[in-house]
């Protein structure tokens, strides 16, 4: 009887030890995971960091403190849109034109998908600039916006002076190539979506034609853009 009681006591102590050791191991491994896990970071882009083909020569030397310049364009409702509407906001900008039949449809569809994801997030907005403002009038943009399900409070499609659009694209957002030399301010837009933070800094470039497919090293798709947007929303800037 004494031997049996001793055995039971030993087994209880053994299980207590195993339980304690298991709990200690879980806590330790979890702690190491969070300590060793690299903190997510997003770069801050300056003109000197970007392909020179996409940057105006007057700003290519700038390597610090780059921000988006002030602007004034007209949206699909005939309203003047400036930095004021985007003040304190995280936003995604791109360049397109309504008659584009190549990459624009994919970009617009992916921007519409992004709009669905951030509809109820007051911190985030979208901004699309026409690179053919002579064609994309307010009425044309309005019709296009309706066909794409644009929510006016979240997404502005803007037109304006071609010179102003050209320079904002190449001096601020850093995403447009020069077009035909014989045509003043002609530009060739790219597939880039540009992520801008609340301090008007460029935080990333994304393939606007790629929703969630594989990408080349250093290039992110639109779902990864959404992840970065949500991360920025959690930061105290």
Number of domains in the chain: 2
The pLDDT confidence band at residue 4, using thresholds 50, 70 and 90, is low
Sign of the alpha-carbon torsion through 56, 155, 194, 105: negative
Considering the domain architecture, whether residues 92 and 17 belong to the same structural domain is answered as no
Residue 220 lies in a domain: yes
Same structural domain, 61 and 33? no
For residues 173 and 82, membership in a common domain is answered with: yes
Is there a single domain that holds both residue 178 and residue 198? yes
Q: What is the mean pLDDT of residues 230-234?
A: 97
Q: Residue 114: which of 203, 200, 206 has the closest Cα?
A: 206
Q: Whole domain around residue 191: which residue ranges?
A: 47-233
* Domain shared by 146 and 87, yes or no: yes
Place of tokens 């996409």: 54
Give pTM, 2 decimals.
0.83
Percent of the chain, pLDDT > 70? 83
pLDDT > 80? residue 113 = yes
Same domain, 24 and 120: no
Determine the pLDDT at residue 141. 98
For the cut 90, the answer to whether the pLDDT of residue 73 exceeds it is: yes
């Amino acid at each position: 009887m004494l031997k049996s009681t001793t055995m039971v006591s030993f087994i209880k102590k053994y299980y207590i030890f195993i339980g304690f050791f298991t709990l200690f191991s879980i806590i330790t491994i979890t702690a190491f995971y969070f300590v060793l896990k690299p903190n997510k970071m997003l770069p801050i882009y300056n003109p000197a960091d970007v392909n020179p083909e996409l940057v105006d020569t007057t700003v290519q030397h700038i390597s610090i403190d780059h921000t988006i310049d002030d602007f004034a364009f007209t949206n699909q409702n005939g309203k003047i849109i400036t930095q004021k509407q985007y003040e304190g906001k995280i936003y995604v900008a791109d360049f397109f034109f309504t008659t584009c039949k190549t990459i624009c449809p994919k970009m617009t569809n992916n921007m519409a998908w992004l709009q669905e994801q951030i509809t109820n997030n007051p911190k985030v907005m979208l901004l699309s600039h026409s690179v053919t403002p002579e064609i994309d009038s307010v009425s044309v943009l309005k019709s296009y916006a309706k066909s794409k399900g644009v929510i006016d409070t979240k997404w502005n499609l803007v037109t304006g002076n071609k010179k102003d659009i050209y320079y904002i694209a190449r001096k601020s957002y850093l995403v447009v190539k020069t077009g035909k030399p014989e045509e003043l301010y002609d530009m060739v837009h790219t597939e880039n979506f540009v992520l801008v933070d609340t301090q008007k800094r460029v935080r990333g470039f994304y393939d606007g034609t790629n929703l969630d497919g594989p990408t080349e090293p250093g290039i992110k798709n639109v779902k990864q853009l959404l992840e970065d947007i949500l991360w920025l929303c959690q930061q105290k800037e």
